[in-house]
A and B are shown apart, each in its own frame.
Chain A
Amino acid sequence: MKGGKLEAAAPWLVTLALLVVWQAICSVFDVSDFIFPSPYTIALSLVQYAGPIAGHAWQTFWTTMIGFAIGVVVGLALGVAIGTSRFVYKGLYPLLVAFNAIPKVAFVPILVVWFGIGSVPAVLTAFLISFFPIVVNVATGLATLEPELEDVLRSLGATKFDILWKVGLPRSLPYFFASLKVSITLAFIGTVVSETVASNQGIGYLMMSAGSSMRMPLVFAGLAVIGVMAMAMYELFAVLERRMTRWAHRGDLS
């Protein structure tokens, strides 16, 4: 029981320890705030600029969520297509792998030409970066269906859709939810990358403009906000995963 409590407190303890060490280094060596701000000055600027930060954070949050939502829909559709059809798999998979290898920041200038500065490039960058893990995971879940089970169902006259609906999709749910956790954090990366290059709103933009006026504590405050948002969403999807696919995590049921 005691071990369990300690485990639950571990992330907080480690974070606290990190902040204390960080603060100590900054104070003892008298590091300039322009180079490496201490946690205390970062906290101060978080409070001082709470209003603008919240506005920019909200902007980043909703563009990320829209991009991520599109990524989920497209990722699911492509994953199902690749996982159920050998032809689509052979045809599309190499292209997708090639696409995934391109740094998504390289797309931002193109998106800006097409859609101008603003939220649209950010949404699309978040989408482009987040859909790939979903495709791979859903396709893997579908492709690892036991052939015997398929025989059982087919001998009863099951259609391809029956098999997909009754067996394939439920089977790939744990893979799907696992990929959501990865994808949501990637989506934040996409949005912020796009905002730093091509936007006048959002945390990425805030950090860029704060950096150019040498307000380093505010830049770090932006980093902290992104980290907290991504972590919160990751945890949300982790909880959702455990709820939806209890059967796949039977080890932790008791």
Chain B
Amino acid sequence: MSTEDRLQETVESIPTDVPAASPATGTGNGTLLSVQDLHVWFELKRFGFGHAGWVKAVDGVTFDLHYGESIAVVGESGCGKSSLMKTILGLYRPTKGDIVFEGKNIGLKSARELRWYRSQVGYVQQDPYGALPPFMSAQKILGEPLAINGVKSKQERQERILKVMEEVKMTPVDDFLPKFPHMLSGGQQQRMVIARAMIMGPKLLVADEPVSMLDASVRVEILRLLRGLQASHNLAVIFITHDLSTVRYFSERIFVMYAGNLVEKCKVDELLRNPLHPYTRALLEASPDPDPHNLLVFKEVPPGEPPSLIKPPPGCRFHPRCSRMIDGLCNVEKPPDFEPSPDHLTACWLYK
């Protein structure tokens, strides 16, 4: 097939109407990933040896992810969302708790099984330029995972590279394949990262702030690309972000994370309409829309800063900053998940 033919085919295959965040393939399709009571603690050493405490980055996180479902994890820096993500990717070992992927526990795997797992899970990094090796062409970047995962035929490798490049709309493909990362624009670099994550045909994509380094005009394009891939491949996506406004256009469910705990879990629309946890409310209040009215108002921001994860406050970890703290309860006992309305869970004593 000539380049022109391929281009023509790609142009025709571009959907005129991008589907919304895949409602059809969402829940009720079986559980792909199950995270149960996950703890990720990092040991603090005194003088290089001798135990000095734990950094409790992830402290009791439980959720299920279905095939083809998109969830977002929202939280501030240091809340443990990156540790959660890296544990799911198999880069950290869980201290306690299980990660079950397609019925298999991935906590204590052999190198061989981990390789299989990693071909099932794609990773889209935050900074595309930092994530792409500067001395490798697009061809090599995409060829390497295939070679490592035992695709021996050169022709098959080439076919899969062409296919994935067309899927991320890096066309004409032949122009892009010999290019090195520095020759690409920010948006194209992020497309390369997505292509690399997609090349093994994963069932789950973990996207760590995939658009935060990009310009506003390109962001939407990349989000739509991810949404299109999610729908066409029935891909489950874990979208890690601190920006609530992009979540709305991408994910079905949202988890709000604070100091190592998930404090609120529900559908995105429900969260925006009816935020329950005081921390979620503060986040929503603090996220601006472009509106000239903003000029006139001072925002209500909870005082203080997120707690140290070495010695988190007892009880609810948000209680020192919370304006609705119940003395004798919030500062004593850790709140379990309450379900004040169906499918809307929040770990807050106000809803007991």
Determine if chain A interacts with chain B. Answer: no
**Chain B residues in contact with chain A, CB under 8 A?**
none
CB within 8 Å of B: which residues of A? none
